[in-house]
A and B are shown apart, each in its own frame.
Chain A
Amino acid sequence: MIAVLNIDWQTLADAVGLGSVYALMAVGIGLVFGVLRLVNFAYGQLIMAGAFALALASQWGWPVWAGVALCFAAVLVLSALMELVVFRPLRGQSPAVMLVATFAVAFLLEAIALIWFGSLGKIAASLAYLQQPVTIGGVDIRKIAIVATIVAVVCLAALVALLSRTNVGLQMRAAAIDFQTARLLGVRANRVIGAAVLISGVLAAAVAVLLTVQSPLVTPDFALRDTILVLAGVVLGGMYRLGSATLGGFAIGFASGLLGGALPTAQSQYLPSFLFAAVILVLLVRPQGLFTRSRQQAVERV
């Protein structure tokens, strides 16, 4: 199989790295979907904002840690604003209204980036050394593939611990199953949703750091294509479960990485077509998602 598709170990490592980044994005999207039943289409623009923060820090000659801190601060502030200004006032509106609102936010942020930074974009170069390979067992593997995988595993482990061991985590899980009952029990909607949005923001910032290593040129449409792929992956995996959504994100990132490495360069422009064709096929056969055991019922939202 591997030989037929002309895939070497390096490609495989890159695919795992990309799958890890997409898995993080899928968790970020899935967390907010869980408590708000809202697909945040503007998630990619949060990542874009974080990437511009990194690029600015690198342009100003800031040390790496300061750039990463600025990236996290920018994404978290934007996430909080999004929740306070858009999601909270619109909560209880129809899902269509909320979805369109996130489209509007996405285009607004992209337009702001275009005005401030121009269409040519900026370079975030401070972490470029992670593109260098290390040799493990005779195979050259780029450091970023290893870093991305480690970051994803650590983040996911931390999130699982938070969801299973803390009260706010338990409340988030309950809210994702049946928000109305959770509120009747005294679970504060604003607190649970705020926590989900902020955790989702932390993940977006981490993804921004990882993606700028992959592609240091930051433009206003940074991460847009990735977001669309991840959204497809989340639906593919099954979006009513965080675990299945995460697996879906990983799967589409992994497939994207593999096909990108396997297809001849001249054909790589057809890559998204292959992926989306695969997504459509899967959803025709398993509309509830690839990684769910049975059809999940949508639950009434606040």
Chain B
Amino acid sequence: MSVPLLELEDVVVRHGAVTAVDGLSLHVDRGEIVGLIGPNGAGKSSTLHAVMGAVRPAAGQIRLQTRSIAGRRPEDIARLGVALVPEGRRIYGELTVEENLRLGLAARRGRSGLADDIRQLYDLFPVVEEARRRQAGALSGGQQQQLAIARALIAKPDVLLLDEPSLGLAPQMVDAVFDTLRSIRDRGIAVLLVEQRAQRTVALADRSHVLSNGRLGLTLEPKDADDTETMVAAYFT
């Protein structure tokens, strides 16, 4: 069996005295979506922050292929090919849409094929092209979410982390975002998706782990999405 693209092994994250993630192990491979679902405060965001280097894990291993990245600086991890679509989008509202996109280039390794990639991104997110000269703060929440995903993709990452991309979006925007994730997976990117919308995530992801109190519980497959009993059990066991 080949080495997975992203692998977490017994990762522990502590915020002061609180243990947010308690010995979590999972892996994501090229061309698959792995969902991480669970209630508020389960440690989903902390897991992503640990991968991205925003917090240093207290214990455990995080590997990008064979390279250990635990405890490295966020900018270095970004440059190694991990991109994050952060919770709340974190768009620079006072910069233009195009400037936000250009910021994503900071992590890109090499400029070859950039023009084609931008073309593809504009095809995937037409609103980003239409609004490129406008202030990003003037975009709607859904448009900003598309910009945040485009900004992450322009870095040409191997791994894409998404922290609650559907939060605060109108229902049809949620559909659009989930459709986009499917096409991102099909490009061969490893996607780790943190979500509160459990059913949609389980239906979309190749497998979804239920996280509670910093520990992994059940692992669900797309066929479980319509099985209400399994879904409910996953949250309450």
Contact = CB atoms under 8 A, between A and B. Distances in A.
Query: Do these two chains really belong together in a complex?
Result: yes
A277 to B, nearest CB: 34
Nearest to A164: B99
Interface of B: 52, 54, 73-75, 78-79, 84, 86, 90, 92, 94-95, 99, 102-108, 151, 155
A43 B109 CA distance: 37
The 6 closest A-B pairs by CB, nearest first: A186-B107, A186-B78, A186-B106, A181-B90, A183-B74, A187-B106
Contacts of A187: 75, 103, 106
A100 interface: no
Contacts of A182: 103, 106
B155 A167 contact: no
Most-contacted residue by chain A among B52, B86, B106 (CB, 10 A) = B106
A173 B95 contact: yes
Contact of B103 (A180, A185, A188, A189): A185
A102 interface: no
A183 to B, nearest CB: 4
A48 to B, nearest CB: 35
B94 A177 contact: yes
Contacts of B106: 167, 171, 182, 185-188
27 contacts: A167-B105, A167-B106, A170-B95, A170-B102, A173-B95, A174-B95, A177-B94, A178-B90, A178-B92, A181-B92, A182-B103, A183-B74, A183-B78, A184-B75, A184-B90, A185-B78, A185-B103, A185-B104, A185-B107, A185-B155, A186-B75, A186-B79, A186-B104, A186-B107, A186-B155, A187-B103, A187-B106
Contact of B86 (A170, A171, A184, A189): A184
Interface residues of A, number: 17
Contacts of B151: 185
Interface in A146-178: 167, 170-171, 173-174, 177-178
B111 to A, nearest CB: 11
Interface of A: 167, 170-171, 173-174, 177-178, 180-189
Contacts of A183: 73-75, 78
Given A167-B105, A171-B106, A180-B54, A188 B75 contact: yes
Contacts of A178: 90, 92
Contacts of B78: 183-186
Contacts of B94: 177
B71 to A, nearest CB: 15
Nearest to A191: B75
A187 B83 CA distance: 12
Contacts of A167: 102, 105-106
A230 B104 CA distance: 36
A184 B73 CA distance: 9
Contacts of B73: 183, 189
B84 A184 contact: yes
A181 B75 CA distance: 10
Nearest to A173: B95
A178 B93 CA distance: 11
